[in-house]
Amino acid sequence: MAKPAPKRSANSERSTDKGIDVLESRDVEPILGPVIASEAVSPTLPRLARHTIELADGHRVGVSVCGRGVPIVMVHGYTAEGMLYAQTLSRIVAAGFKVIAIDTADHGGTQGLPTGGANFEEYTKLLGRVIDELGINKAILVGHSMGGRLVTEYAARNPERALTVILLDAIVGEPWDRIVAASRINPLVLLGIGAVLAVDSVSTVPFLKDPKQAIKFARLTRPMVRGHMANPLHIAGPGISILRSRSSKWMLERLAKERVPLVAIHGDRDIVVPLSTARSAARLSRGMVVVVEGGRHSWLLKDPETLPAILREMFATPGAIKSKTRDFAAMGLSIDASVEEIEAAFYEPDAPILAMTPEIDLDAIRPGPRRPRFRWHTEIPG
């Protein structure tokens, strides 16, 4: 079995032989959550490396990466960017994964689409090109809000590339499709949703309850806000693509047919994308729902501990072990495969993403003692 490419420093320009040029890169300091004062243990979380790469066709894309092992490809929500989720991503790395956050077109470090910028399928195609050129063979696909729509469509069109699809308050499911249909008749419907989303995003920041966390979150949002202020029209294309998007039903049914596992994790107080959307997505895909109690649309930004805790619980269940055994066996791996063997199977030899990953000491990672702020429960649609 081929060995993965050796890791290289993420602090200098470099090129690979896979068609990707790394134009700019830097290590990003971990943004740590607050520590319980009575605890003596200090959290030690890894840094994410943030890159701007150039694909073979010249398209510039923002990618953030850290960790070792099975890849988790994370796609952000509308108007956001991958690094906005840095606190959560660092904790997922600590759980034993490689996280790869990809900025979609017209967001973060990714340039807009030259043509087709008002068509969701073109955004999905760009996501697919990035995954291909990074050298990722198969991954857990995670998407928040708009990103959930993109990873669902990508998995439906490429089911062999998806280990699992994890939707976070995603805009897929029949209730959301009906909202979009109503928006075509009256665009004010979608404008109203956008206004609610803006209020939800602002209320996500714990200004009063946790000022230190608010300051840390502001550090992450500063580049995003600066980019929106410099060019407020650059997110028009993705917004129009949401308005013009077609039914997501076929995607979810395709995942069911191809037996791609789907988990819809959703806040029960999300008034932007209602919980019924997640239940519909899980029913159509024969998946499951995890209800985050008290969570609004951006609950994972409010508390970086909850999603990693849910993932740890999911992958610790007997059913998950059985699924992992099946998936690993299909890739020629044993259940107790080493990190090196896993990376040799899940990535192409000399995959660019391996060279872009910063060195970390997995044994030195200490997530810290803070418990998840939210509670959750699981539903299996009938």
Position 2 in a domain:
no
Full-model pTM:
0.85
Check which CATH number belongs to the domain holding 315 and give it.
Answer: 3.40.50.1820
Position 338 in a domain:
yes
Position 377 in a domain:
no
Provide the pairing of β-strand 139-144 with 21-28.
unpaired
Helix (H) or strand (E) segment spanning residue 187: none
Position 375 in a domain:
no
Position 6 in a domain:
no
pLDDT digit string, tens, across residues 83-124: 889 889 988 998 889 999 999 998 988 999 887 666 889 999
Is residue 189 pLDDT above 70, yes or no? no
Q: What is the pLDDT of residue 367?
A: 62
- As a whole number, mean pLDDT of residues 241-250 equals 88
Domains contained in the chain, number: 1
Position 110 in a domain:
yes
% the chain with pLDDT above 90: 49
The residue with greater pLDDT, 13 or 204, is 204
First to last CA, the chain: 43
The residue with greater pLDDT, 302 or 132, is 132
Q: What is the pLDDT of residue 59?
A: 94
% the chain with pLDDT above 70: 75
Specify whether the CB–CB gap between 150 and 171 falls below 8 A.
no
Range of the domain at 260: 14-32+40-365
CA–CA distance from 281 to each of 145, 170, 194, 264 (Å)? 13, 9, 22, 7
Position 381 in a domain:
no
Q: What is the pLDDT of residue 30?
A: 42
Position 1 in a domain:
no
